[in-house]
A and B are shown apart, each in its own frame.
Chain A
Amino acid sequence: DAKTTQPPSMDCAEGRAANLPCNHSTISGNEYVYWYRQIHSQGPQYIIHGLKNNETNEMASLIITEDRKSSTLILPHATLRDTAVYYCIVSPRQGAQKLVFGQGTRLTINP
């Protein structure tokens, strides 16, 4: 599986947009970019995923660069409940889809 690189921690003010970067320079053509987050003492929560086009859902937006070597997760109006560890993972869509977690980014939303 392709390795991802994320900053270990980030801070954001409540109500502002939180932009979380992820580098995945060795991503292959059949691999998707998935974002999950984990709030303390809970299982990871799915946020969004994409292949090459930008994606948006009720939780977030995902911007993938044209060369697909990096992406940015955007939480448009961060709230205190968005404080969590955010994981960027690349994995093939086909097959069993084993997800290998890196260290993620610990996002802290400040009041």
Chain B
Amino acid sequence: GAVVSQHPSWVICKSGTSVKIECRSLDFQATTMFWYRQFPKQSLMLMATSNEGSKATYEQGVEKDKFLINHASLTLSTLTVTSAHPEDSSFYICSARDHRAQYSNQPQHFGDGTRLSIL
């Protein structure tokens, strides 16, 4: 079945550093991927839509200069949290769907998430 892989699964770093999270579709190609953030005991909040070969689309209230998204190929999107601070600590999750799925019936699939802790 469709698999979406995220790396790293967890990361701890000092305040002020930048952290890059990778999201890969392993057995399909995705022109669009999505990035979510989830705080403890809350639901997933959509941050942005990552578009292959073009700029990402950010949801209202999400700082594009803070959360840099690059979707350089049909199987890889990256989220970089720049100058991270403790309030950026969260569970970050990506999702993707086979780019052919809009003509079929395939759902979106999610990665296992990246737990980010900023000290």
Contact = CB atoms under 8 A, between A and B. Distances in A.
Interface of A: 34, 36, 38, 41-46, 49, 87, 93-104
Interface bin, chain B: 20 to 34
Given A43-B110, A44-B110, A101 B43 contact: yes
B34 A98 contact: yes
Contacts of A102: 43
Contacts of A99: 34, 46, 95, 108
A104 B49 CA distance: 22
Contact of A46 (B34, B46, B109, B115): B109
| 4 A-B pairs with the lowest CB-CB distances in the bound complex, closest first | A43-B110, A101-B44, A96-B32, A44-B110
Interface on chain A toward B: helix, strand, loop, or mixed SS? loop
Nearest to A96: B32
Interface string B15-39: 0000000000000000010101000
Contact of B113 (A43, A93, A98, A100): A43
